Amino acid sequence: MGRFLASLRRTLAMARKELRQLQRDRLTLGMIVGIPTLQLVLFGYAINLDVRHVPTAVIDRANSSLSRKLIGEFEETQTFAIEQFITSEAAAIRLLEGGRIGAVIVIPSDFDRRLYRGRGALISIMADASDPTVASAVTLAGQGFARALALRMQPATAGRAALRPAPDDHARFGATSDLVRPEPVQVEVLPFYNPERRTPVFIVPGLVGVILTMTMMLMTALAVVRERERGTFEFLIATPVRRSEVMVGKILPYLVVGHIQVGLVLGLGVLLFDVPIRGSLLDLGVGALPFLASMLAMGLVISAASRNQFQAMQMSFFFFLPSMLLSGFMFPFEAMPVAARWIGELLPLTHFLRIVRGVVLKGATIDVLWTDVVAIAVFFTVALIVATATFRKRLA
């Protein structure tokens, strides 16, 4: 009994000590509240697999009042957000490769004529199928749209192969009385880049970015703080070494590590999941270099600001979480609310995902992705400056 009580006392003393330490560690306290809150908010808003407002471009070759009405109807479905009008398929491919646009609606020049003559008008939607979620949403919306249109045009004969326009739809589409037996409007979805809509094909290139975010950031996040904990910091700051030298010196070796990781994940993706690598590895390298550097710099910001390795790990996680949720890795970027997308645009991972998916899945070249490279480079520069400014060659 006495032994048990003694043990209990030691245990309680220990618990009290831990509690006191925790009480005095504001950052950890903040994390205790911050992480679940952040998770809840992010998941709550971002997990919205009901894809809406896919950024859409339109090639309107008919350019008639009828085609414009059709575009309006597409927009009313809320799946498509018409953002721009373009004139060529080449421009469409550029936009799709750059990840700016999720779908391109193509209205053929003979749209009106075919509709009137009852030949059935064919509308194509070029969909970015590298993200299967977006592709299915577009397909569903396209099919639903055609069906609804057909029903409206001849509600009485729904179910028959050939549908007639109902009187009110004649008016809606400006149909005249000489329009006899029109075929319904057909919508054809052309999946680009990942025609079989296999998830691994889409996930693996994204994983490159996610894994690098985590590993790169943690490596440097622990770098400065480890020096502090092991006492080598005091030797280091007593030497003439400059702050920026410490920063860059800690980044450099990991750039090599990062490229190895890129190769590893992609290589495994090819081996295990048949991920096609359509673009050039050189283009990928051009995109990967600033991204790796930006994550390493972010790690240094964290490291310079934290007092021990535990804090550094927690802060890394704090950055990692939104990167994963808001970059378009887990949920289609298009499906996120505007505010979340704005935050997403600030994260290097968002831009790197566009690069890696563009190059690997779509065979894009770096010239259509340069804005993303620039965005990452800006992040890197800011992070490095902040890290250097935060790192002080002083004790305490």
Partner 1 sequence: MNADPEVVLEARGLTRRFGTRVAVDHVDLAVRRGEVFGCLGPNGSGKSTLMRMLLGLLEPSGGDASVLGYEIPTDAEKLRPHVGYMTQRFSLYEELTVRENLEFAAEVFGIPRSGLRDLIEATIVDYGLVDHADTRAEALSGGYKQRLSLAATTVHAPKLLVLDEPTAGVDPQSRREFWEQLFELAAAGTTLFVSTHYMDEAVRCHRLAILRDGRRVAQGRPRDLLHALAGRVIDVETERPEEAIAALRQTPLVASTTQIGDSVHVLLEADAPDAAIASEELVRDLVRAGFRGASARPGGAQLEDVFVALLHDESAGGDS
Interaction site with partner 1 (CB under 8 A): 230-241, 393-396
At closest approach, how far in Å is the CB of 142 from partner 1?
Answer: 60
Q: In this structure, are residues 316 and 297 in contact, taking their beta carbons and an 8 Å threshold?
A: no
At closest approach, how far in Å is the CB of 378 from partner 1?
Answer: 29
Q: Taking the CB of residue 184, how many other CB atoms lie within 10 A of it?
A: 21
Name residue, tokens 């589409």. 173
- Whichever of 89 and 229 has its CB closer to partner 1, that residue is 229
- Whichever of 94 and 243 has its CB closer to partner 1, that residue is 243
**Pairwise CA distance, residues 41 & 47, whole Å:** 10
Helix ranges, the chain (H): 2-23, 26-46, 65-76, 89-97, 111-117, 132-153, 167-172, 199-230, 232-237, 243-273, 281-305, 309-326, 338-346, 348-362, 370-390
- Whichever of 237 and 313 has its CB closer to partner 1, that residue is 237
Handedness of CA 313, 316, 318, 321 (dihedral sign): negative
- Whichever of 25 and 345 has its CB closer to partner 1, that residue is 25
- Whichever of 177 and 239 has its CB closer to partner 1, that residue is 239
Q: In this structure, are residues 115 and 82 in contact, taking their beta carbons and an 8 Å threshold?
A: no
Q: Taking the CB of residue 255, how many other CB atoms lie within 10 A of it?
A: 15
At closest approach, how far in Å is the CB of 227 from partner 1?
Answer: 9
- Whichever of 151 and 257 has its CB closer to partner 1, that residue is 257
- Whichever of 1 and 396 has its CB closer to partner 1, that residue is 396
Which amino acid is present at 59? Answer: I
**Pairwise CA distance, residues 18 & 12, whole Å:** 10
Which amino acid is present at 343? Answer: I
Q: Taking the CB of residue 175, how many other CB atoms lie within 10 A of it?
A: 18
At closest approach, how far in Å is the CB of 243 from partner 1?
Answer: 10
State the DSSP code for 334.
G
- Whichever of 61 and 243 has its CB closer to partner 1, that residue is 243
- Whichever of 3 and 394 has its CB closer to partner 1, that residue is 394
Q: What is the DSSP string of 108-140?
A: -TTHHHHHHHTS--EEEEEEETTSHHHHHHHHH
- Whichever of 44 and 240 has its CB closer to partner 1, that residue is 240
CB hemisphere CA count around 277 (13 angstroms): 17
At closest approach, how far in Å is the CB of 249 from partner 1?
Answer: 10
At closest approach, how far in Å is the CB of 234 from partner 1?
Answer: 5
**Pairwise CA distance, residues 2 & 228, whole Å:** 43
Q: In this structure, are residues 56 and 82 in contact, taking their beta carbons and an 8 Å threshold?
A: yes
Q: SS3 letters for 199-255?
A: HHHHHHHHHHHHHHHHHHHHHHHHHHHHHHHHCHHHHHHCCCCCHHHHHHHHHHHHH
At closest approach, how far in Å is the CB of 223 from partner 1?
Answer: 13
At closest approach, how far in Å is the CB of 392 from partner 1?
Answer: 10
- Whichever of 228 and 357 has its CB closer to partner 1, that residue is 228
